[in-house]
Amino acid sequence: KQSPRWIKLLASFIIRENEPIQTFVIPHSHMDVGWVYTIQESMHAYAANVYTSVTEELSKDADRRFIAVEQEFFRLWWDTVATDLHKKQVRQLVKEGRLEFIIGGQVMHDEAVTDLDDEILQMTEGHGFLYETFGVRPQFSWHVDPFGASATTPVLFALAGFNAHLISRIDYDLKDTMQKNKKLQFVWRGSPSLKEKQQIFTHTMDQFSYCTPSHLPFSNRYSGFYWNGVALFPDPPKNGVYPNMSLPVTKETVQAYAKTMVENIKQRAAWFRTNHVLWPWGCDKQFYNSSVQFNNMDPLMKYINQNSKEFGVTVQYATLSEYFQAIHQSNLVWEPRGSEDFLPYSTEPHQAWTGFYASRNVLKGVARQASSQLHAAETLFTRYRVRFPDGPVTKDWALDKLRALRWAVSEVQHHDGITGTESPKVADMYLQHLVQATMGVEELLAALILRYQRKGVHQPLEQHVIIYNPLAWNTTTIVNVTVSFPIAAVFDDDGQPVPAQMAAQSNVSYDLFIVVELGGLQHRKYLIKSSEKKCSGRKCGWIYEAKGVLFERRNIWDSMKTGRRLLPVINECYKLMFDQDTNLLHSITYLQEQRRVLVTQDFWEYHANGDTKAGPISDNYIFSANGSAVRAYEAVEMEIIPGKIMTEIRQHFYRWVQGPDYTYSITTRVPECFGSRLRCHRLEQTYSLGPLRLNTEVVLRTSSSLRNNRTLYTDDNGYQMMERRYRKFNNNTLARNYFPMVRAAYIEDELSRLVLVSDRAHGVSSQANGQLEVMLHRRLWNNLPWSLGYNLTLNDSSVVRPTLWMMLGSISVTSKLYQREAIELQHRPVIMPIDHSPVRSVVLPPNLHLLSLSIPGWNYSSDHDVHLSQDLHSEPDFDRVLLRIMHLFEEGEDPELSKPVTINLKDALQGIGEVKELEERSLTGTWDITRLQRWNWKTAENLKTNHKSCSGGGDEAFTVTISPKEIRTFFVHFASRNFWAYPSSVKTDNH
């Protein structure tokens, strides 16, 4: 006997058989914010023309549609190209829903190597502009080109209020299976802790991806349904005739075009459960001459609809929301998908896109540093504005500095930016934008803390520095200041000596390591007194001069016997043993449990093939090893610099035994315990790598006695950890077992866990039992004509200096530590050589992280109805503070720290000021959470999304509960006050 559910299902198939396939033709242009050409070149060659011509063409015909994806190009067009008429037309088109903004971020961000903070930033930057300008809020994604799909992205999109998510690039063999089984659409629960609360319907594009078929036998080669041809650089042709324009639609050609289009529609329809087909019309750099496009597609679609009974197909121009509305109204029950992601990504057996995890190490590092600097400046400016609303730092000047860095950090998150898959000139453009904007923010930081400027005082041996903690946690840490003299003493703002240690860096400069204790969001002043001569007595402060012990260079081929002469380096957490026969690390004992783990670290190289005739190649995107890794050195030199604050071990790896210069190095800092917080568990390592030989990919290999069965754990965008089991493939097993490491990776067995946290993204793998292998640097060249034509060969001759922090211990101990350590590495204290005023600290519970504290400067009203009815050109709002708080732990990860946290934000933020109003918002701030009603997609469990919000009066209005892995976003208004007073002699020209 059939159940009612099966009867309904059978009926739906019968109905579908008798109905024509409803085709949603979605016009779009994929515009990379970078890649081969700079943003300026793209704007000049085609991008500006896309929005000019699309606006004009949509205004001519009410049936036409277009989706706008990357906001950086649209905003540049809106601000620098669009006429008043264009702006009026756009507002009308947006109001009618015929021009639809999709994703709404500045870029279509990469999903493998981007950090959570930066994904949120670039979305917020775009969403704020769109809501401010048009009163619209994107509700759908179009992630068609990132190289693999993370499970964090759908969570963030759900938190931003999206109703559906769209992806495309997933493993070729997996996509093929999903197509055959009609499983390209599902409900994704990207977070194992949030589960159904932030589930989102996800559509996977079929094998044709986001472009329409291009191989048409009756038209120009590779032109397909793109009648406007191929964009030209550097200048568009003055006569409007572009190369490779497709044959126009005429009486003679319309039937051939219609037959091809219908066949493709039917082929796609067979892979989905409903009779609605998404037919993306567009591709890279299309629609710059959209009159040609629409004037050919219009008659073609008219012809198909006139013959719809014969074809069994209807076609209509559509936006993405119109397609998803039709799917939603089909009322089907969808299969849920858990928190697994779609990484890594492969396009064919020998093409694993795992190389870009490590491409352009310098760019990845600068982008992360700029993001950290932005976070520090945002929190400091917010504190300043609340305390000194009429202070001498001009608010508009400050906002301009912040916005420049917001823009620079946002644009580099593009899937051909932070990935390192762009041409050298585009990489230089990203770096230039990041460095220039960072310098502007450094000016702002100096101005915010400046209270007075000393005049007529020249004391080269005295230096004041301000050290600012940008995190809402108390911290005890060691900072490094470079000084010019070999002797120095350090004093805090109370005149008390501070523990410090000096070590020679070169003949003219010295590393001064200072132990600092800082409250959350607090800065303190330190005085460094230098001397050319040694002094004695209390006036010298508490200073240790560290001197090194150099060990002779060891030839690895002579070191067949190892472990005979072990040298210990001990702090309160660890005993590290170094082998004097090899000058390599031998073992680590974590003293709390007296467990010894054999650990060795060294460098290995994969040699890549650069000749396409000789086999698969490695390039910016792809990692295709030419065999197993080989040892990257013949000899190792070691120097140990013992100290009372930290002991430093410097290991230099020489390519040849008698080589004059080392190619690789590891500097390991083993800290002692200071202050109230145990911090000896963190082994801070910095590396120097390069220049590499051509077609070399270098890895740091950490080999241990842990029995992890080649299973490792890596983070998805710094948000959540993913289990990565080693898998065997018919081809390219080595490369397909590499995964992105954005902030953290670890291996473990039943007793111990070995953790690495990083200051930038890398590729990581466990190729053998107990092994954690991190790809740090790549230098590649190949003779593929495509690569040579676009200069995409990654001939990166730079020397790179990434940082990893290593921890070893039991699973329970490391679970409490590694996420905070990753954030502390990312947001290290900011050092500024100026004076300051004291401030109160702001401290959150240990399982909560202050993700954002900023003044966006948006001018829109928090009330949507009021915003839509008011003038959209009001002044920036400097009193509205954007606050985000994130719970760091997963459900069940720790007995205490995984519990939900109830916090009174009025109490928590009193170190900044008195909170008067608190309003919960969506992730990017554009929705009042009480008005956000996301679509409910049916699953077998039929679970519904629920939102908690702030409500009520009195203290209840400020009390919120944050559950594991939740990110909650608020608008905060503080009570007005102004404590500003400063000497009349202070210069405030620019500030």
Cite the active site residues: 145
Number of Cβ within a 10 Å radius of residue 896: 9
Helix (H, G, I), strand (E, B) or coil at 159: helix
What number of residues does the chain have? 991
Q: From CA 839, how far away is CA 525, in angstroms rounded?
A: 11
Structure tokens at 533: 């001569």
* Phi, psi (degrees; rounded to nearest 5) at 326: -65, -40
Helix (H, G, I), strand (E, B) or coil at 776: strand
Q: CA-CA distances (angstroms) from residue 422 to 282, 348, 425, 735, 787?
A: 22, 22, 8, 21, 11
3-class secondary structure per residue, 521-538: CCEEEEEEEEECCCCCCH
- Could you tell me where the DSSP H helices lie in 97-151? 116-134
- Please name which of 228, 248, 223 lies closest in space to residue 240, comparing C-alpha atoms: 228
Residue 388 · residue 979 · CB < 8 Å: yes
Q: From CA 352, how far away is CA 203, in angstroms rounded?
A: 23
684: which strand partners?
669, 805
Rounded (10°) angle between helices 361-387 and 424-449: 30
Q: From CA 836, how far away is CA 471, in angstroms rounded?
A: 18
Structure tokens at 837: 């005023």
Rounded (10°) angle between helices 48-58 and 71-80: 80
Burial class (CB in 10 A: 0-12, 13-18, 19+), 137: buried
Q: From CA 382, how far away is CA 430, in angstroms rounded?
A: 27
- Please name which of 733, 730, 816, 739 lies closest in space to residue 772, comparing C-alpha atoms: 739
Burial class (CB in 10 A: 0-12, 13-18, 19+), 585: buried
Cis status, amide bond into 234, omega within 30 of 0: yes
Helix (H, G, I), strand (E, B) or coil at 41: helix
- Please name which of 514, 452, 411 lies closest in space to residue 106, comparing C-alpha atoms: 411
What is the layout of strands, in order, in the sheet containing 664-671? 549-555, 635-641, 646-654, 664-671, 683-689, 803-809, 753-758, 744-748, 712-716, 720-724
Residues 6+ positions from 260 with CB-CB distance below 8 Å: 213, 216
Residues 6+ positions from 357 with CB-CB distance below 8 Å: 112, 113, 738, 739, 740, 741, 761, 762, 763, 764, 775
Helix (H, G, I), strand (E, B) or coil at 608: strand
Q: From CA 879, how far away is CA 634, in angstroms rounded?
A: 61
Q: Which residue has the tokens 């453009």?
A: 429
Q: CA-CA distances (angstroms) from residue 497 to 491, 795, 835?
A: 4, 49, 18
- Please name which of 950, 958, 948, 715 lies closest in space to residue 194, comparing C-alpha atoms: 948
Number of Cβ within a 10 Å radius of residue 407: 18
- Please name which of 488, 441, 438, 434 lies closest in space to residue 465, comparing C-alpha atoms: 488
Structure tokens at 980: 């500003």
